[in-house]
Structure 1
C-alpha cells in the first residue's frame, strides 16, 4: 500500500465526518424550505409513508452529493500537496 494512501486514511475519515455534519445541516434547511417543518423520523406514527419516503430520498441525495464533493475536494487537495492521487 502506498504511503500517500495510508497517510490519507485519517484525512478521509475526518472528511467523512465533516461531510456528514454538512449534509445533515443542508438536509434540515432543505426540508424546512419545503415548508414541512421538522424532518420526519421513520418511526413517527403521525407521519405518512409518502412524507417519510420523500424525506429519506431527499436526505440520501443530499448526503451523496455532499460526500462526493468533499471526497473529491480532499483527493484533489492531496494531489496538489503531495503530487500523488490518494485513491
Structure 2
C-alpha cells in the first residue's frame, strides 16, 4: 500500500513506514524534552515575580490569567518544536532511505 507524498517524492512503501516508526518515536521523545527545556527558559525570563517554575492548573497562588498564559505559551512552543522535529526527521529518513516516511 502506498500513500501520497510531498511534491517531488515517491509514494511510501509499507516497509519504509515500519522502519520510520522507531525514528519517529525517538525524535518525538527528544522533541518533547527539548520543548520543555525551551518553555522553562522562556517562562523564567518572561514571568514576573520570584517563582521560576510555571504555574500549574491547581496552583492556588496563581491567577487564572497567568495559568492560561503559561499553558498557551507552552502549547505554542511544543507545537513549533514538534513540527520542526517531525519534519526534520522525515527529511533525514528520506535522504537515508530514498522514501518519504508517509502521511
Moved over 6 A (4+): none
Aligned pair count reads 87
The answer for unaligned runs of 5 or more in structure 2 is 2-13
| Structure 1 position 35, deviation (Å) | 3.5
Cα distance between partner residues in 2 of 1:35 and 1:54: 10
| Structure 1 position 80, deviation (Å) | 0.4
CA RMSD of aligned residues (A): 0.9
The answer for unaligned runs of 5 or more in structure 1 is none
Name whichever structure is richer in helix by fraction.
1
SS of the counterpart of 1:84? coil
SS of the counterpart of 1:50? helix
TM-score calculated relative to the size of structure 2 = 0.81
5 Å-filtered alignment, 1:1-87, equals 2-36=14-48, 37-87=52-102
TM-score calculated relative to the size of structure 1 = 0.96
